[in-house]
Structure 1
Amino acid sequence: MILNNSPFKKNSNMILFIISTSLFMWSLSAGMVNIALPTMSQFLDVSVSTISWVVLAHLLFLLSFLLIFGKIGDHLGYKNIFVVGLIIFSFSSYYSGLSLNIVSLIGYRIIQGIGSAMILSVAPAIISTVFKAGKRGKAFGYISLATAGGLAFGNWFGGFLTEYFSWHYIFFIVFFMGLILLFLSIVYLPEEEVKKSKFDFDYVGAVLIISSIMLFLLAINFSNTVGWCSLAIFLLFLIAIVCSILFCLWELRTTNPLVDISILKNYYLTLSLTGAFLINLVLSGTIFIIPFFLQLVKGYSSGFAGFIIFAPTALVVVASPLAGHLSDLFGSNMVKISSTILLIASSILLMLLNPTIGILVIVTALALRALSQGIFTPVNTKTIMNQSIDESMGIVSSLMNLFRYLGLVMGVVIFQAIFQGTIAANGISNMGAFQVSAPQNVLLSGFYSSFFLATILSILIFVLAVIEIRFDPDKF
């Protein structure tokens, strides 16, 4: 509950600015780190597989702690979790920049992942607390814009800093941004009444969900190294599944669960969460594959390929706030359905890519993809958060981000497996992604299989969006 002495009513725009800029900072950091990985690998004298843990370790702890901090935020207050998250995220970024060996860098990135979980778990809940249901769509539109813009800008800005200064500066920039946002958050974010009742934290549930997510992601990460059919990978997946089942059974019987499983009986919420998972899977999978096509088949330089991918992101600037505003006026369902149609069209165009295809078709496919992302994300976020009550906004916010980021991870893994599996089926094994010696027709078969999967999943997302209309409590 917001306290009466809070200035939030007069500063709702400032609160939106703080939350949006914080998520921009987070995605900016992610984009800059990704583009700097090759340089980090050379500086620290480690292999590509080793340097990948700079990203993986952060992601492991981010996903593992999302639900936990969402639950804690519901009890101790969203501002408290958000502010502490900014402190941890900012200072761990500073010490990451000071790191001179891979062990310390990964260690500080783990700590930063915990800070990320604190920020991301309660950010949508703060927006839902400050903005009424009729104005949330537009607010989430700006948040979606900030997140997408930060990631896109991070790839360019991170490359600039790495090339002309040093990779260390990508962490220092984030540190100073974090300090400014920390000051603004302390001053402007609304104070909340901390519940005085005893906080009986679900430690068993926390251990089970952390174990499940970590084992699952570790199994996915190592599967490409040791093989999907190896005993070790099988056991990791098996234990992860067992932990997930035990988690669900425990949550159903404990008196103070980490996640109230019964909220998933709200089919509208469950369908929206599933849609968030699937669309992020498609978006991350396709954007992982597209650069390979542009460089291996079309022969574009990495710089030009990056520009082609970056340019359509500008459409998100228009689409996200507009989609949120339209959903406030006319309801979410039809706006969301229109975005899935755009995604289907984009996936079909990507299936048609070949060596002679013109750049206009490529840009059109990417533009449709950007529009779909810009429309779907804020509207779906609004529909999910509108299904939560004041006491559960933190946990619903965390569930949404858990589904979203799991989709991002799974997209890369699944599309990579489809691409490489198709190539292997054509008689080329152990092929690195950038081995241009592979026959072009073999590469094209891998791209076609990947984009065919994207089309099937896009149609499934459309079907889910249509089904949602039946369960919409507002019947827009």
Structure 2
Amino acid sequence: MNITENIKNSPHIRWFILANVALGTFMSTLDASIVNVALPTMAIKLHAGLAVLQWVVTAYLLTISSLLPIFGKLADIWGRGRLYLGGFVLFTLGSALCGLTNNIWVLVGMRVLQAVGASMLMANSQALIVAAFPLEERGRALGLSGTMVALGSLTGPALGGILVGLISWRAIFYVNVPIGIIAFLGALVILPNDNAKGDSVRFDSAGALLFALGMISLLYALNNGQDAGWDSAGILGAFALGLLLLVGFVWAERRTSDPIIDFDIYRNIPFLIGNLSAFLSFAGQFTYTMLMPFYLQTVLNYSATQVGILMTAFPLAMAIAAPLSGYASDKHGPVALTTGGLATMAAGIFYLVLLTPHSPFWQIVPGPLLMGIGAGMFNSPNNSSVMSSVPKSKLGIAGGLNALVRNVGMIVGTTLSVTLFEIRQAGLLAGVLHPTASQSAQAFMTSFRTVLVVGGVVLLAAAAVSINRRGYVSSLRSL
């Protein structure tokens, strides 16, 4: 028996798998949060305007969202380990090529390659953890994985600023290369040789194409509607095309023997409730995430450094709460923790409604802290409940769908916050040709509070959905 087989047969192999998945999670989360810091420098170095530059972010987002369920299904067919290894290869290669390019559109193309790798990692990370850990340890394991999400978000902006300032914008991509190589080599040694179904299951390529194109079109419209105008021909056409393609996808999936998404999975109550509450959670949460930096900079005149320090309160609190909540859910179940976490997030966002144009630093901090604690309380038990509610043969697609609702929730929350804010602000300043600084600040604060109240209501709705999983979680023990 060689060294690799000894490691794979170790009684502690599940913790090695968790460590490797955590490294992949950290890398993909870090990359998502590190790029925005470098965009102004990229604009200068690559001679690109904002309209073109936004595709560095948008292309990455659209690609991941359109591929998550597809790679989840492929993982169930080909084997989760194989697809996860491929994700490291593509993500690392894409990162290296992003750093080498001197053309903005080539950079966008390499970001798409990066996103393909990231979606392979994201669609499989939770499935690998759930397959490796017994039910009584899953919450703790998923909680530790959630901590890596928070640490990636926490580290990204600060590390990005340091790398861009001391080296160049290319360094934010090169930093992924050594991490990716180490993670790939580790995965090669420790991941189990899960059995592929091979030719016994036919991959629905037509359904995959309909889903990918439909999601790209619909999310493009959501992401760009405010800038282009919701009633513009391009946005309305993208909405119509996206909905048409997705309706066609559902119709086709109902008539194939091996669908990309088996919609019967949503008859599983814990899975349905977990996905719906997660979607509402991220939608409500991102009403805060999008507008809070603007409040700090434009109203309170905080420096970028001060904004960065204050915004770390959320991921820092989440990083501490997530593993503790995961451990507690293994002992006491997910219902109280998920519902209480969503209520805590709602309390945090409602607290922020009380802020004024003159609020001191110490008065602001409790809001992000409460939201971070609530997010940590919610995410780990919810992920454990969702992933434990499906049989092992469907872990890949379950993980892909779970990651998809998170991404779509972020997009919807961002779009909702910006659209509602601008409509409310325009209404308050209607007829005022030259608003004073006081009038502008007052209009901003009223609009900001309106968005926060809506976000809080969405989080309370998520809590109301989450509590309805009572009575169903006991069925997870039999899976």
Relative to the length of structure 2, the TM-score reads 0.94
Deviates more, 1:164-173 or 1:35-44: 35-44
Shift of 1:82: 0.3
Deviates more, 1:245-254 or 1:172-181: 245-254
Residue 389 of structure 1 corresponds to: 391
Residue 461 of structure 1 corresponds to: 462
Q: Partners in 2 of 1:197 and 1:390 — Cα distance?
A: 19
1:221/1:318 Cα in 2 relative to 1: closer, same or farther (>3 Å)? Answer: closer
Residue 443 of structure 2 corresponds to: 442
Deviations 1:355-406 (A, max 9, x none): 1333223100010011011111111110100111011000000000000111
Report the number of matched residues.
470
Residue 345 of structure 1 corresponds to: 347
Residue 63 of structure 1 corresponds to: 65
1:155/1:12 Cα in 2 relative to 1: closer, same or farther (>3 Å)? Answer: same
* Alpha-carbon contact 2:7-2:189 (below 8 Å) kept: no
What runs of 5+ residues in structure 2 fail to find an aligned partner? none
Residue 309 of structure 1 corresponds to: 311
Residue 173 of structure 1 corresponds to: 175
Residue 400 of structure 1 corresponds to: 402
Where do residues 48-447 of structure 1 align in structure 2 (5 Å cutoff)?
48-427=50-429, 439-447=440-448
What runs of 5+ residues in structure 1 fail to find an aligned partner? none
Q: Partners in 1 of 2:437 and 2:414 — Cα distance?
A: 21
Q: Partners in 1 of 2:370 and 2:172 — Cα distance?
A: 31
SS in structure 2 of the partner of residue 253 of structure 1 = coil
Shift of 1:191: 1.3
SS in structure 2 of the partner of residue 52 of structure 1 = helix
Shift of 1:196: 4.4
Residue 35 of structure 1 corresponds to: 37
Q: Partners in 2 of 1:79 and 1:321 — Cα distance?
A: 25
Q: Partners in 1 of 2:368 and 2:224 — Cα distance?
A: 31
Q: Partners in 2 of 1:314 and 1:461 — Cα distance?
A: 23
Q: Partners in 2 of 1:465 and 1:41 — Cα distance?
A: 43
Deviations 1:180-222 (A, max 9, x none): 1010000111111222443311112111111110001111233
Q: Partners in 2 of 1:164 and 1:140 — Cα distance?
A: 35
* Alpha-carbon contact 1:312-1:363 (below 8 Å) kept: no
* Alpha-carbon contact 1:8-1:130 (below 8 Å) kept: no
Deviations 1:247-270 (A, max 9, x none): 112111211111100111112211
* Alpha-carbon contact 1:205-1:250 (below 8 Å) kept: yes
1:56/1:122 Cα in 2 relative to 1: closer, same or farther (>3 Å)? Answer: same
Shift of 1:107: 0.7
Shift of 1:7: 2.7
Q: Partners in 2 of 1:168 and 1:428 — Cα distance?
A: 44
Cα RMSD between the aligned structures? 2.0
Shift of 1:328: 0.1
Q: Partners in 2 of 1:13 and 1:475 — Cα distance?
A: 22
Q: Partners in 1 of 2:262 and 2:475 — Cα distance?
A: 23
The residue type paired with residue 365 of structure 2 is V
Q: Partners in 1 of 2:209 and 2:64 — Cα distance?
A: 15
Q: Partners in 2 of 1:284 and 1:140 — Cα distance?
A: 22
Deviations 1:78-101 (A, max 9, x none): 000000110000011001001111
Shift of 1:4: 11
Q: Partners in 2 of 1:438 and 1:88 — Cα distance?
A: 51
Deviations 1:217-260 (A, max 9, x none): 11123322321012321221112112222211211121111110
